[in-house]
Amino acid sequence: MRTDVPLHRSLLVRVLAVSVLVSVCSIAATAWLTARSTTVAIRQEQGQALTDDARTYDTLLGYAAAHPGWDGAGKIVQQLARETGRRVTITTEQRVPLVDSDTGPPATLPARPTASIDPLHMDTALAAASGSSLTTGYSDASQGEAMAAVTDHIDPRAVGPFLLPRKERDALRVAAERRAACLRDAFGTVATIAYSPSGRPVLDTRGARPYSDTRCPSTVLDRPTATEAKALAALQKLVDSCLERRHESNVRLNLDFSWTRVPGAVPAQAADDGPRGGVVPECVAGSRREQLTPYVAPPALLFLSSRGGDTSTVFDLSPENQARIAGVAALVLLITVTASVMAGTRLSRPLRALTDAVRQMEEGRAARVEVKGKDEIGRLAAAFNAMAERRERLEELRKAMVGDVAHELRTPLSNIRGWLEAAQDGLADPDPELVASLLEEALLLQRVIDDLQDLAVADAGELRMHTEPVDVADLLTQVATAHRGGAEAAGVTLLTKADGRLHLVADPVRLRQMVGNLVSNAVRHTPPGGTVSLLARHDGGDVVIDVADTGSGIAPGDLPLVFERFWRVEKSRSRRSGGSGLGLPIARKLAEAHGGSLSATSVVGEGSTFTLRLPA
Ligand code: ADP
């Protein structure tokens, strides 16, 4: 039987595959998780840090735009530090600390500030990152000639003298609400009211421009208030002197700091000044700065650092990311543990069954295990079953053998004992006839014991053979001669015939024993007038010796049993007329020891042929 297990069925390969799978799963999951969560976390934390920074900047810029100094900024700085978890330090442009969110030793300021806070020169990119509405100025910028709000980098929240007092503010609000109601009634336009940093209401009509319509006539809303007019006049003055200095013709400023040229005036130069460049915008922006300077906080530097002074950014994983990592790790653990448990159970179940079966066997009970699959364990189970079966057969054989041996020895022994007791009691005369009978019984006992020993030796594979070249024709003649006397007494004719010269390498004594056994059986089972023939021939590379008789024959059902130990067709037959019941088993063993075989064919009433086949 082939003992190699195909690779795809091999337990080793399967165990290896499971462990590789488990490792690959865990490594892949860990790698994926680490890469993903780290990337996501860093992106989130970075984004958050940036948004936080921009928001801080924007809030402080708003403060600076609305206050002439930094003295009252302590509270707002504290609040920002609390919200963002960072240290917020504001210094002058010469890095002299103005406000610090953390008390204790002054922060070692980094080489570069996070931003410069100057509402008159603001960082529009940073302000945009904060998500503030700075870039959506309050003015109606559709005039196209000028756009003041953000392109001049002045924070729209810096309103300075344009800040409306409560009274004006209220008046404008009433006017705006009326206008909104009018627009709704007259045009069905929904207008929302927003308020500019100076407190002026602005109507948002989402693109519709029904301002000039007579149905919603011009009101106080379309004119500058007294405060605005005053501030605008002051600004106009500054712009005029600037333009004059630069030899530029005058312009007229609007309330939203756009401008229109004074009709008839010819610009001295740069006639095609765009809305974003040129002398006029420069003058307007410069004048506005000049006008606003006393109202806004002086420029300052903003330093954002992590608390405790460490300026490097530290990314802590958010609770969601930590939960995700823990979740995926738990899932991987669950999968790997399940796979391992399944593989382990599949492995250990048949092993446990085998252990149980071995225990049963030890207790002398019949044991079999279920054979599943064709892997190593499946084969082990099959081998175990075969071994258990063989062991049971041998055990049965052993028991039967002991019984048979006892039975075979008891009969001649009790005969001897009976006669000897009778002689002792004077009931039988120990005459030569009795002695001869006792001797015959003793010889029978001797034969059974010799035969048993032969079989035991053969069973143990310890038959000693003395092989030599044998002339088969001679051997047949010798056997026939030895049995001729008995045959003649039984009225049976003995014939021998050999096809040509046949030679064998065999143990001549054992060979004579085998053939003699077959001949004595044949003579014994052939009625007077019958014939027993000894025929030798070549068949392929073998020498075949047939011992054929014209006797009673053997029933087909009994034929395979004649080679069993102690088996006889006629169970009741007297031992004197029969043998020990070991003749044929011994003959077969001897044939096998020579590398040959012994078989039988028979027809009831016609005779039997025993065929001894030996390699030449
Ligand atoms: P025994 O010593 O009883 O002859 P064997 O092993 O030689 O034992 O033979 C077993 C049985 O096989 C015999 O008892 C007999 O019943 C049967 N047998 C053997 N040879 C023949 C034969 N030539 N013709 C009929 N029966 C036979």
pLDDT for the residue numbered 468: 93
Which residue's CA is the nearest one to ligand 1's atom 22?
522
Q: Compute, in angstroms, the gap from residue 588 CA to the centroid of ligand 1.
A: 13
Tell me the Cα Rg of the chain.
62
What dihedral do alpha carbons 107, 109, 114, 120 form, nearest 10°?
A: 90
The secondary element (H helix, E strand) that includes residue 91 is strand 86-92
- No. of H helices and E strands in the chain? 12, 15
Instruction: List for the chain the helix, strand, coil content (%; round to 5).
Output: 50, 15, 35
Find the distance separating the first CA and the last CA of the chain, reported in whole Å: 29
pLDDT at 219: 75
Give tens-digit pLDDT for 30-71. 778 777 777 777 776 677 777 888 888 889 999 999 899 998
Nearest to 255 by CA among 145, 139, 167, 147: 139
Question: Which class for 407: exposed (0-12), middle (13-18), buried (19 or more C-beta within 10 A)?
Answer: exposed
**CB contact at 8 A, 29 and 330:** no
Whether 36 lines ligand 1, by a CB cut-off of 6 Å, is no
- What pLDDT score does 263 carry? 67
Residue 113 beta carbon below 6 angstroms from any ligand 1 atom: no
pTM: 0.45
How many alpha carbons fall within 13 Å on the CB side of residue 143? 17
* Ligand 1 centroid to residue 486 C-alpha, Å: 17
- Which ligand 1 atom is at minimum distance from the Cα of 562? 12
Would you give the distance in Å from CA 525 to the centre of its chain? 75
Residue 603, pLDDT score: 94
Count other Cβ atoms within 10 Å, centred on residue 477.
Answer: 14
Interacting residues of 188 by C-beta distance below 8 A, sequence separation 6+: none
**Inter-residue contact 7 to 13 (CB < 8 Å):** yes
| Atom 13 (ligand 1) nearest CA | 568
- Chain-centroid distance of CA 182 in Å reads 72
- If we measure between CA atoms, which residue out of 230, 162, 236 comes closest to residue 200? 162
With the most atoms of ligand 1 within 8 angstroms of its CB, the residue from 547, 568, 606 to mutate is: 568
Residue located via tokens 């029969």: 578
For residue 72, CA distances in Å to 76, 82, 154 come to 8, 17, 22
Nearest atom (ligand 1) to Cα of 586 = 6
State how far the Cα of 176 lies from the Cα of 164, in Å rounded to an integer: 15
By C-alpha distance, which of 251, 254, 249, 243 is closest to 149? 254
Q: For residues 177 and 193, what is the distance between their CA atoms, to the nearest angstrom? A: 8
b/e burial code for range 497-512 (CB count within 10 A of at least 16 → b): ebeeebebebbbebbb
DSSP, collapsed to helix, strand or coil, labels residue 539 as strand
User: Does the Cβ of 520 fall within 6 Å of ligand 1?
Assistant: no
> Where are any strands of DSSP class E within 230-275?
251-253, 259-261
Structure tokens, 373: 């699959």
Q: List the beta bridge partners of residue 546.
A: 535, 611
Beta carbon of 533 within 6 Å of any ligand 1 atom: no
Residue 316 DSSP symbol = P
Name the residue at shortest CA distance from atom 8 of ligand 1. 581
CA distance to 181, 198, 206, 311, per residue, from 193 (Å): 11, 14, 11, 44
pLDDT at 144: 32
Q: What is the DSSP string of 133-160?
A: STTS-SS-GGG-S---TTTT---TT--G
Q: How far apart are CA 289 and CA 275, in angstroms?
A: 18
To test the pocket of ligand 1, the residue of 519, 562, 565 to mutate (highest count of ligand atoms within 8 Å of its CB) is 562
Closest CA to 438 of 427, 430, 449: 430
Q: What is the mean pLDDT of each run of 10 residues along the chain (616 residues)?
A: 61 78 80 75 72 86 91 89 87 88 74 87 69 42 38 85 91 88 81 88 72 66 87 90 86 84 57 58 89 92 73 59 80 84 83 89 86 83 91 84 83 87 88 87 86 84 87 94 92 92 91 93 94 94 95 91 80 54 89 94 95 93
Q: What are phi and psi of 77, to 5 degrees?
A: -65, -45
Q: How confident is the model at residue 331, as a pLDDT?
A: 86
* Ligand 1 pocket test, candidate residues 444, 450, 520, 521, most atoms within 8 A of CB: 521
Contact (CB, 8 A) for 251 and 280: yes
**Each residue's pLDDT tens digit, 428-481:** 888 888 888 889 888 888 888 888 888 888 888 788 889 999 999 999 999 999
> Which of 581, 614, 611 has its CA nearest to residue 455?
581
Evaluate: CB of 197 within 6 angstroms of ligand 1.
no
